[in-house]
Structure 1
Amino acid sequence: MIAPHPLVAMIHAVPAAHRIAEEAFAREFPQATVWNVLDDRLLDDARAAGGLTGSLRRRMLRLIGHVMDGGAQALLLTCSSYGDVVNTAHALWNVPVLKSDEAMFRAALSGPYRRIGVVASTPPAVPAAVAQLEALAPEVRPDRPVGIVTALSEEAATAGDPGAAARHLADALYATGGAEVDAVLLAQYSLTPAREALAALLGVPVLDGAGAAARELRALLTPGERPAAPTPAVAP
């Protein structure tokens, strides 16, 4: 039986993801009781090791085991670098466990969008997002091809405010022929503050990973409720 205020754990590798994910859940799934767990060495140690080692995988599984032992009824892993560990978690625990952007990709592929733009401010985020989209596409929309346009703006990572970050992302998307996209996906949680400004500049829906995860978990954990309408940022 699902509790009235289901306990949703979130494991973060950077403090900024904690704030962004909490804001998304407050907006999209306010009934949830959120439990944040932060290990701010996860990314640095993975970079130093050149990727995920067996030791790092076990470390993440121990963190997941910690929240499961604490009664978590769902888990969102906000660090995309550790997404592969989710596959192991599915085999070990019988509760919903989501990768950072898994719900966003599924929502985008389930929608009416023919061309999807993917924007990022760090180079590794682009191929990682495209790989997940292409892997999910045959499962979610086997009879409808999807066009993917990518754009990278490293300037967006150091922009002084969300509006400036949005302008850098929009410029990068236009430069790669993305003017005709039907929706845009933010490949990093750190870009979420630029979501509304980017939607206003581009005139298309902009989806973020944390918001999509909150909506998916709300549907899974409160099945008796009327489903919440998606609220990707859309230009007025």
Structure 2
Amino acid sequence: MSGHRAGGPPTVAVINATSASVEPARIALAAGYPEASVWSLLDDRLISDAEASGGLTPALSDRMLSLIAYAVHGGADAVLLSCSMYGPVLEQARREHRLPMLSSDEALFAEVARRRFGSVLLLGHLTPAVQDSVNRLTRMLSAADSGERTTVIGRTASGAAEAAALDDIDALEESLAAAATPYLDDVDAVILGMFSLSPARTGVEKALGLPVLSAPLPAARALRERVARGPGTGLPNPNQPLGRLHEGP
């Protein structure tokens, strides 16, 4: 079932695991996929339940698969997950539904691989999510076959989750900048791996003097291209940039 009618806008269902990611996703889609109609779905216990369980469990994976199925049967033309921790669920979801789907950081990671940084610092506000993101980014970089090895460092920013939940951008910028400052001489770029951190990107980049990349806008642009190509398309190729994904200079 498809929500797209002839002459009508494509419907993008964004599945959120925290209310703090809803607005960043909307803003990014408005900029990177302006013709889309955004349908926001929220289960605000997906993160807390994963944290309490020590990470992604089979039961939580099934819960996300149910949300994806709900979006598909409700008429979505594409699905975007805004929570990085649940990205692995898409492997099964893509087998079940021939619909363009994207995890929160696939396009971001492809951009990191394309730019071939020597080392990057990945920041997040939940330790299990940060470790998962580091592992997945490392695997993607290894598979990119660029001939250059990128070192990935992951750190949890203390206080970032609370600041994001309160929409306190100043506190969020301070938290992320403080977490990154000890690594300024060791990394070439900073990666904000969660949608809820993206509102602080510009401020953190200014404070650090390093390129800072965040996930929502690359995801919006990549999803737009994937929908244009049709269902069943593959993952982003890190050696073939999906448009101009990067947000910083």
TM-score, normalised via structure 2 length: 0.81
Aligned pair 1:121/2:128, yes or no?
Answer: no
Q: Which runs of 5+ in 1 are unaligned?
A: none
Distance 1:158 1:40 in 2: 14
Could you tell me whether the CA contact under 8 Å between 1:151 and 1:169 is conserved in 2?
no
Distance 1:147 1:48 in 2: 29
Match of 1:205 in 2: 211
Kindly tell me: are residues 110 and 211 of structure 1, through their superposed partners in 2, closer, same or farther at Cα, counting changes over 3 Å? same
Q: 2:176 aligns with which of 169, 173, 179?
A: 169
Distance 2:75 2:117 in 1: 38
Distance 1:138 1:75 in 2: 27
Deviation, 1:48, is 4.3
Could you tell me whether the CA contact under 8 Å between 2:85 and 2:129 is conserved in 1?
no
Distance 2:173 2:122 in 1: 13
Could you tell me whether the CA contact under 8 Å between 2:32 and 2:221 is conserved in 1?
yes
Aligned pair 1:95/2:69, yes or no?
Answer: no
Kindly tell me: are residues 179 and 162 of structure 1, through their superposed partners in 2, closer, same or farther at Cα, counting changes over 3 Å? farther
Kindly tell me: are residues 197 and 84 of structure 1, through their superposed partners in 2, closer, same or farther at Cα, counting changes over 3 Å? same
User: Identity of counterpart residues, as a percentage?
Assistant: 37
Kindly tell me: are residues 62 and 206 of structure 1, through their superposed partners in 2, closer, same or farther at Cα, counting changes over 3 Å? same
Distance 1:208 1:88 in 2: 26
Structure 2 counterpart of 1:210, one-letter code: P
Structure 2 counterpart of 1:232, one-letter code: E
Deviation, 1:195, is 0.4
Alignment of 1:11-50 (within 5 A): 11-50=15-54
Deviation, 1:11, is 0.8
Could you tell me whether the CA contact under 8 Å between 2:119 and 2:187 is conserved in 1?
yes
Deviation, 1:105, is 1.0
Give me the CA root mean square deviation. Answer: 2.7
TM-score, normalised via structure 1 length: 0.85
Match of 1:72 in 2: 76
SS of residue paired to 2:185: helix
Alignment of 1:208-223 (within 5 A): 208-222=214-228
Match of 2:148 in 1: 144
Distance 1:53 1:121 in 2: 19
Structure 2 counterpart of 1:230, one-letter code: L
